[in-house]
Structure 1
């Protein structure tokens, strides 16, 4: 039975809501981390571990649960992960020391990996055409950007009286799980199709696909883009407090939020045109160019208004680069492996955030925010140039 437009829209809304939860683990704990640190009597290092512990688990479990979903069903994994997300997230309200809290954060990260992998996997199955898939992934990216604004605000408001109340936000995954059960279903497979699917996700074949030079390039640039974005946002908040800017908290919040707004706007309204006009890889190159300009502008701006514009430009670049990477990975991957490769890409994205302090703190030896901006600009320019030149070389080879 063909899918009606209203049914497809309902499925999309469920998947967007589920995908937005991928940012909730960090978005909820960061506004109340100071209160947790004080109550548990933690030093800076341990407090930082609580805030970032989930990243490593998302990176690990996104591909693992993606492979599992291809065997037992994507909707089953999505619903199960949503239920576990609520359980492990809200469990943080009932612990009173570091070790149990760290355990809940790790388990929450594992559940988040299942949500991220399954929601993106189902999205790629619903939208088979490249243009439609690119637009759907762009909408998912813009939803995540907006969630990065909404969830911290909600956590801050709820946690004003008691930090434990903020952790009940993780319970939002329960109605989303119900909506997923009502609106989503795994496609029925014939015995032959199921056997083919099971054969196609064998580890050797997955590894063979991931060794494809084009896939490896996109995975590497996706990881480094994620690391750059995380380092930029973190260091921008520090830079805004330094002389001669000395911005107050509301201004800092506005500037940080503006990059998410820029990302959401271009993902929702501009990415489809750019992809259709220039193609996926040149569009990624344009995005990296905008990131480079924004990162150069930031350390050379001392007026909050100019920094606001630079942050918006950074968000626009990020809103082009990240969803275009997922679209490119889906385009060069066989249909039966697309959800798994996208799940690996999701894991790589979170791995980039987890490794960001090491990449920018060790490789670039950047102890000052300004150094981080210039290092990010150099990296963004290099990645854009690499992808565009590699794509042109491949096109010449095919034409010869």
Structure 2
């Protein structure tokens, strides 16, 4: 079968953005059943912390492997590592179907992180290579939509499967097998030879990406507190069951998915630092609403505001990073970015649970809002460092 090299074709877009959609499932795919897993392993010491690492341990190994993957992708090729990552991701994600030992389960989640490293670096970089200019911004917006929309649908499925037993929720990772086969037959390795000679003359430097790296880290540190702690907020404060929790989280993500589709138009009218500022303010409002209103509508609306603005902020950072990075250094630059996103994800349960233990579950949401407001103000004062 001859591969399609028309990156604007419907089939090609369906495959590349479909792969991006499954990528979003990695860490939070089984979040609706985390309280049930914690109950099942209630005799295990410190299970309140260990259960949350089911969601975030993959981020540690993404953190460790993302820079290496980025280096190898720039040195060799992009697509081969993406396909390998999809294979690892599918097998390790499905391992929870059969495992009944919390430590073996955490081991499988660590392997999932290795596969995730190839996906979170490789898929955005492939999209950045396939498209340029306004098409790149539109493509990144579609990627953001696919990630959030795919996550919403798959988390909802996970919640329904979880009603049969928490083991069944892990079947949702089987979707990656289909995505892998489609990517193998349709996607192709981008051409980079035309720009390679000129790009190689410029030494790689992390300094020009510093503020973007800081933004990405804090965004994931704070935002990941929401999917980690929201199931407990819904169960403890509002008394919801796992299926309802899954539907509420999926609804929040589903509606928020559409915000990235407007990114290209937003960027035409608003500068990069102002986009960051507005996103942080809206995220802060969403966190306050979700944490303090004590009703289902408040949680849903607050979650949608936080999720939608988070998606736009991450795309804004990614687009600007691709603008700053030469073509042959793009994967290395994004590899470090992916590492810091993963680091934010990994320490988010420690960050959020420590705040919950010290100040209470609802206060944690308010504190995260304060951090986001501060970062928004910093992005304006330091706008010369990120302005286009």
Shorter-chain-normalised TM-score: which range? 0.7 to 0.9
In 1, Cα distance between equivalents of 2:166 and 2:239:
26
Report the counterpart of residue 69 of structure 1 in structure 2: 73
Report the counterpart of residue 138 of structure 1 in structure 2: 141
SS for the counterpart of 2:190 is coil
CA deviation profile, 1:62-115 (whole Å, cap 9, x unmatched): 221121122221111111111222232334444443443332221111011111
Q: Is the 8 A contact 2:148 2:256 kept in 1?
A: yes
Q: Is the 8 A contact 1:281 1:328 kept in 2?
A: no
Q: Is the 8 A contact 1:11 1:183 kept in 2?
A: yes
Report the counterpart of residue 381 of structure 1 in structure 2: 373
Aligned positions of 1:221-300 closer than 5 A? 221-241=215-235, 246-249=238-241, 252-268=245-261, 270-300=262-292
In 2, Cα distance between equivalents of 1:285 and 1:113:
28
Equivalent residue in structure 1 for 2:40, among 34, 38, 51: 38
TM-score by length of 2: 0.85
Q: Is the 8 A contact 1:222 1:348 kept in 2?
A: yes
TM-score by length of 1: 0.83
- Equivalent residues, number: 382
SS for the counterpart of 1:187 is coil
- Alignment pair present for 1:371 and 2:363: yes
Change (3 A) 1:310 1:364: closer
Report the counterpart of residue 216 of structure 1 in structure 2: 210
In 2, Cα distance between equivalents of 1:57 and 1:271:
30
CA deviation profile, 1:38-59 (whole Å, cap 9, x unmatched): 2796441443333432121122
Report the counterpart of residue 47 of structure 1 in structure 2: 51
In 2, Cα distance between equivalents of 1:68 and 1:309:
42
Report the counterpart of residue 27 of structure 2 in structure 1: 26
Which stretch shifts more, 119-128 or 277-286? 277-286
Q: Is the 8 A contact 2:56 2:346 kept in 1?
A: yes
CA deviation profile, 1:338-373 (whole Å, cap 9, x unmatched): 233223222322221111133345589853133222
SS for the counterpart of 2:258 is helix
Aligned positions of 1:47-126 closer than 5 A? 47-126=51-130
In 1, Cα distance between equivalents of 2:312 and 2:359:
29
SS for the counterpart of 1:73 is coil
Report the counterpart of residue 153 of structure 1 in structure 2: 156
Which stretch shifts more, 281-290 or 334-343? 334-343
Q: Is the 8 A contact 1:32 1:156 kept in 2?
A: yes
Report the counterpart of residue 14 of structure 2 in structure 1: 13
Q: Is the 8 A contact 2:279 2:313 kept in 1?
A: yes
Change (3 A) 1:219 1:366: farther
Q: Is the 8 A contact 1:36 1:163 kept in 2?
A: no
In 1, Cα distance between equivalents of 2:153 and 2:291:
27
Change (3 A) 1:394 1:102: closer
Report the counterpart of residue 173 of structure 1 in structure 2: 176
Structure 2, unaligned stretches of length 5 or more? none
Q: Is the 8 A contact 1:54 1:109 kept in 2?
A: yes
Change (3 A) 1:345 1:293: same
Shift of 1:120: 0.9
Q: Is the 8 A contact 2:217 2:340 kept in 1?
A: yes
Q: Is the 8 A contact 2:67 2:335 kept in 1?
A: yes
Change (3 A) 1:298 1:106: closer
Which stretch shifts more, 233-242 or 172-181? 233-242
Change (3 A) 1:139 1:161: same
In 2, Cα distance between equivalents of 1:179 and 1:135:
22
Equivalent residue in structure 1 for 2:319, among 306, 323, 327: 327
Change (3 A) 1:194 1:311: closer
Change (3 A) 1:81 1:3: closer
Structure 1, unaligned stretches of length 5 or more? none
C-alpha RMSD over aligned residues: 3.2
Change (3 A) 1:94 1:298: closer
CA deviation profile, 1:258-288 (whole Å, cap 9, x unmatched): 43134211112x2222111112221121111
